[in-house]
Structure 1
Amino acid sequence: MSYTRNLIAGALLASGLTAVTPLTASAAECIAPADPGGGWDFTCRTVGRLLTELKLQDGSVQVTNMPGGVGAVAFANVAGKRADDGDVLVATSTVGVTQIAQGKYPGGVDVMRWVGMLGTDVGVIVVPADSEYENIGDLLDTLKADPTAVPVAGSSGAGGWDHIRLLMLADAAGMDGDAYKAIRWVQFDGGSPAVTQMLGGQVGAVSTDLGEIAGFVESGDIKILAALSDEPIPAFPDAPTAKSQGFDVTGYNWRGFYTGGDVSDDAYQGWVDELKTLFDTAEWKEAAEANGLITVWRGGDEFEAYVADQAKQMEDISRSIGVIK
């Protein structure tokens, strides 16, 4: 990928957006490893749009939806066909790294180059607005009495990050391993499809990220039983945290990108610099916070080390709950 640096002097962009120093790339593409409407799709489309509007890109960023295997299909595609293509970014998150840690992708974290993260989503447990459950304690009491009573859905498979967060709550509620492993778990390819099926009566609750289903909360179709954050979410300050209800559980899901493992150092660093420039704009912070994200930056070598460490943590957690041996 050929990067050129063009200094914008003095004035604001004609669109009225914050003036920035662009690091432009040609034919940029962002792969969202899920159907439209999910968190990875949001990450690609929002970042791609802002890169274009802020003129960090020469042209529009193409977004390609490539669902399958909770990100495994996109991972395999890039590893096998586009490992040295410096024009490609792939949206990922804690969910993807968890799948890698459990051996569900065709390779480990060292197969890719990890570019950066721009924010972190907050895990939530939600139910329909008219559900009988008023708080997370009500739902957990029902599951303690009968782990099979309420099917719960999310955007990861059994043992994935959405599922692990639910099991962490079950553990905090005093359920033993055999009991909380009996909870009925249903996987959908994204939080939005999971909520849609919940509203249709297919499942009773959903464990997912707020950024994926914020629109359903705003419309009043669903209610948040617990936000898995240390503090209330700025965009939804009335949503109770699990901690405030006596369950010491948090479950953040960062949003970021990787590119192919054979991408050149110059192309890789160009993406790191470009995303950091985007992160520093008011436009990114406004877009992130409007969708329930907490803005956090890690990039380059720091992010690569962070991902490797998190993969090890997810492997250890997965072993402890019996997901892998």
Structure 2
Amino acid sequence: MSTRSQPASHSKPGKPIAAVVLACAALFVSGGSIRAADTPATAAKPAGALCLAPAKPGGGMDQTCKLIQKAMGKDMRISYLPGGIGAVAWNSVITQRKAEQDTLVVYSGGSLLNLAEGKFGKSGAGDVRWVAGIGTDYGMIAVRSDSPYKNLRELMQAIRDKPSDVAIGAGGTVGSQDWLKMSLIARRASLDPKVMRIVALEGGGESFTALLAGYVQAISGDASEASLHIRDGKIRVLAVLSDARLPGLLANVPTAREQGFDVTWPIIRGVYMGPQVSDADYQKWVGRFDQAMADQQFAQLRAAHGLYPFAMTGKDLTAYINKTVEQYRVQAKEFGLLR
């Protein structure tokens, strides 16, 4: 069944979402200074290394870079290169920064999905060097704390009754992982995903900005992103897309399965490097991540950044990535996103 719904541009006429998003993104940068914490004793400290987040500050990509920065040391810098839900950073690395020995680029399950769907052009998984998978995130659905929707069933019923009244913020357009999460839930609710009003945004940071500003009524995002906002009591997470309830700040949030929607969505997070990085430099970074992730302090840092255990590097990770991209390609075909 084809599910080519057209994203809405905003949910309140007369209020340009771009201005609000840009202003709040600036607040993320100015208000949340990026600094390194104490590093695990066994983790090496590369000089002048760069972690490139392919999104604006405030989302899951940003959090992954900050985790790596704290694990690897003070000399690790963070830079942001948003655009195309990771496509701009990907193209930069495979064309202009292909041999940079100390540039690490963050990826997520969404990056792999976009790769499978051809949103990174003609590139394939073999066009970069996969260094490490450092944790697992999970999908979640959230609303503002003053929302009338108290659980996932109520939200889906509202979409069924009048879909135009419920704008759903998602990182990316039709076919993105945030879109697919909601589409899978819609199918379980016997709804055509095409009726949903999706607002396409550039990553989790923008999604939460739009939600808190009232431009969307719900968002499809990631649990690690929700963990950044749930402490101040301004959002309500309706469901996590995991097999069982998650520990920590989201421990009281029911899974989608508990609410009658059999949908799970795990999200691997990690880093890759350019295709022409030498074997020696590539193995250097594989070794550093192996060493860092073996330290108990890394597990604590990972949990503090809203991620759950997953550790894989080098050849094993590359095989895992290839398999995952192929699985996403099959899923995309089932939704009519690929021929």
Tell whether the 8 Å contact from 1:100 to 1:109 is kept in structure 2 after alignment: yes
**Residue 19 (1) aligns with residue 32 (2):** no
Decide which moves more: 302-311 or 25-34: 25-34
1:222 maps to 235
Q: How does 1:36-115 map to 2 (within 5 A)?
A: 36-52=57-73, 60-106=75-121, 107-115=123-131
User: Are the aligned partners of 1:210 and 1:291 in contact in 2 as well (CA < 8 Å)?
Assistant: no
Contact between 1:285 and 1:295, CA under 8 Å: does it hold in 2? yes
Instruction: Number of aligned residue pairs: give it.
Output: 301
C-alpha displacement of 1:293: 1.2
AA partner of residue 228 (structure 2): G
2-structure distance, mates of 1:256, 1:319? 26
Aligned to 1:209: 222
1:238 paired residue among 252, 269, 273: 252
Paired position in structure 1 for 2:15: none
Structure 1 Cα separation of the partners of residues 302 and 179 of structure 2: 24
Report what 1:172 is aligned to. 188
SS of 1:215's equivalent in the other structure is helix
Q: CA RMSD in A?
A: 1.6
| Equivalent residue in structure 2 for 1:306, among 311, 317, 320 | 320
Q: Residue 250 and residue 29 in structure 1: after superposition, are their counterparts in 2 closer, same or farther (change >3 A)?
A: same
In the alignment, structure 1 residue 279 sits paired with structure 2 residue 297: no
Contact 2:43–2:72 at 8 Å: present in 1 too? no
Percent identity reads 33
Stretch moving more, 300-309 or 148-157: 148-157
User: 1:244 corresponds to which letter in structure 2?
Assistant: E
Partner of 1:12: none
TM-score (norm 1): 0.88
Question: What is the CA-CA distance between 1:294 and the residue it aligns to?
Answer: 0.7
Per the alignment, residue 333 of structure 2 pairs with 319
Amino acid at match of 1:159: G
C-alpha separation in 1, matches of 2:141 and 2:169: 10
In the alignment, the residues of structure 2 paired with residue 314 and residue 18 of structure 1 have an alpha-carbon distance, to the nearest angstrom, of: 35
Unmatched segments (≥5 aa) in structure 2: 1-36
Measured after TM superposition, the shift of residue 91 of structure 1 is 0.5
Could you tell me how far 1:134 is from its partner in structure 2? 1.0
- Structure 1 pair 113/16, CA: closer, same or farther in 2 (3 Å)? closer
Of residues 248, 251, 258, the one that matches 2:262 is 248
**Structure 1 stretches lacking a partner, 5+ long:** 1-14, 53-58
Name the residue aligned to 2:310: 296
Structure 1 partner of 2:137: 121
